[in-house]
Structures are given as structure tokens and as C-alpha cells.
Amino acid sequence: MNTAITNRITAANDKAQYDEYAKQLIAQKLILAYILVQTIDEFKGMQPEDVVSRIEGEPLIGVVPVEPGMTNTSYTHSSGDQLIGLNTENNEINEGMIRFDIIFYVRMKDGLAQVIINIEIQKDEPTQYFLLNRAIFYVSRMVSSQKGRDFVHQNYNDMKRVFSIWLCLNMDSHSMCHIHLTRDDLINHHNWKGNLDLLNIIFLGIGEELPPQEEQYQLHRLIAALLSYQLPAAEKLKIIHNEYHIPLSQPLTEGVNMMCNLGEGIEERTAARVTKEVTKKVTKEVTKELNAKHAKHAKELTEKLAEKDRIISAYQLLAKHTPIAQIAAETGLSEETIRAL
């Protein structure tokens, strides 16, 4: 197989594995609990360990389709049971479709109400579309897909609140933003009943540098430590254990080590590819410049030889006492040049 193709496949596989390990790390319940405590008002002030028990079942990682009509598709589980709900996608039939990174239910403090949480990991800000538009599509699907699963017929009051939390890496600075519905009374006031808090988008912007150990950046620092390309594994595990008191379980330790190894491989291949591309580009530009110079010199030489031939012809015609005007017409030289000869 062509070496370039092989390298591209290897790089793609490494990136896919890196993304998968990132999702697996973030989807650990204690990590999810830290995210919920820092982003959702109802959980603020709680200890992450107390929030863990409110996360229902196992978070679904990269299996739930975003596409309309697919989120609630039924399929047969390997156990033989027919399942309908969030974990409902046939990987073979629906290969290549867009899926939620992580999605799960959380029970609120009252022990009754549930909310649906989606967490997305974004390595950089996309250039082909606005990230907010994509997030709006995701929360809209999280609401619309509840029909037939969380509420039936016209029981819209049974809709659950949804949160789409985006962990955006490699940003210019550390930031956090909550985007939600608001109301504006344009003419008079009427008490329209309903829940404005149904749709929620939270953007967590994480800069390239590890944020300082400050309270406002507590979540930023944890996510940065987990997903950073730059930090070595030992430093990551030290921050996770010493600052956040998260037990270094085998899956967590292995996940961090694997991500570091994959990250180093990706960076090395990226550096090699960039070096090769820059070398090729510079070589092409230098060759083009040299060719242009050679062409220019060749043109100048040709013009000088042609000028020499015209002068020789003019001398020959002068020797025959040919009129200057005729010589100028035949050779293309100016009459002043011929007189000088």
C-alpha cells in the first residue's frame, strides 16, 4: 500500500482511538458529577460524590444517533431483548451517522424530576459552520426525541429538561457560557404558562494552557488535565488525584496513559507531515522563481542576439549606400541608431 495512504489511515485510526478514550474518560461517573456540579444550578454546592448516585444507569457513549427518526429506533440487544430508547442504534446499518458523544439521565434533588444530559467534546472551533447552530440542533433533537419515550400523545408537560454541555478545547481563553430561552413582552403582559428552562446549552471554553489552580477555573483545570496533549501522564494523574481527590482506578490510569501515547504519535506524525508539506511548497516556489529568472535571462539573451543581427544587417546595407530610411524599415532599428553607426 502507498506509504502516504498508510500514514493517513494510521493517523485517522489514532485520532479515532484518541477521541474514544477521551469520551471514556469523561463518561466516568465521578468526572460527570464534577461537570454537573459546576454547570447546573440544582447541583451547585453539592459534593460530586453525592451526585454520582443520581446518574441513572450507564452513560451511553457514541451510540445514540442525532438524526431525526433514529434516536428512538428499536433494535435487538445481544441478550435478545427488544430495546426502545436512547441506546437504540444498529451500528452496522447506521454506520457513519452523527451520534451524541455522551448522553444520560440524571435524577434531580427532589428524587422525582429527571433531566437529560448530553456532553460533547470539541477539539477546536469548526470553520464550516457555527458551533452554536449545531448545539441548538442537538438540544432540539433531545427534546423532540422524547415523544413516545418520555411522554406520549399531547402530554407536553411531561417533557424533561435537556442540557447539552460542550467541552471546547484549544480556545483563545478560558470561558463558560449558559445559553437558554428568555421571554420579552412586546405589547402588554400575559402570563404564558410553560417552562422556559427546557432547553439549555453550556459552552465550556478551555484555553491551550493549563488554567491556574483557582476556584473559577476548577472545572476547566480538571478537563484540561484529562484531555491535554501537552501534559505528561504522570502530571495529569497527579492533578486528578491530589487536587480533585479522584481515585486512580485502573480504567482511569490506563485511559490517561493511552491518550498520552496516542497524542504523542499524532503530534509526531503531524509535525512530519507539516515539515514535508512545507518543504514541498518551498521547493516548488524556489523552482518557480529560478525558472522565471532563467526565462528572463534567456529572453534578454535572445533580444541581444537579435539586436546584434540587426546591427550587422545595417552595416551591410550602409556599405551598399542604402538610404537610412530604408535600412530602418528593413532592420527595425531607429534612424538615430543607424546614423550613429
Could you tell me which residues are beta bridge partners of residue 200? 163, 180
Q: Find the mean pLDDT for residues 298-323.
A: 75
Strand arrangement, sheet containing 161-171: 55-61, 102-107, 114-122, 161-171, 199-207, 175-180
Cell numbers at residue 214, please? Answer: 483557582
| pLDDT digits 0-9 by tens, 202-243 | 999 999 889 988 999 999 999 999 988 778 888 999 999 999
Look at the alpha carbons of 320, 325, 326, 328 in this order and tell me if their dihedral is positive or negative: positive
- How far is the first Cα of the chain from the last one, in angstroms, to the nearest whole number? 70
SS3 252: helix
DSSP labels, 10-77 = HHHHHHHHHHHHHHHHHTSHHHHHHHHHHH-GGGTTS-HHHHHTTEEEEEEES-SB-STTTTT--EE-
pLDDT of residue 275: 54
SS3 222: helix
Cell numbers at residue 243, please? Answer: 487536587
pLDDT of residue 11: 47
Cell numbers at residue 27, please? Answer: 463518561
Q: How are beta strands 161-171 and 199-207 bridged, if at all?
A: parallel
pLDDT of residue 326: 86
The answer to whether residues 109 and 42 touch, using CB atoms and an 8 Å cutoff, is: yes
pLDDT above 90: residue 190: yes
At residue 252 the predicted structure's pLDDT band, cuts being 50, 70 and 90, is: confident
Q: Per the confidence metrics, is the pTM higher than 0.75? A: no
| pLDDT digits 0-9 by tens, 119-166 | 999 988 888 999 999 999 999 999 999 988 888 888 899 999 999 999
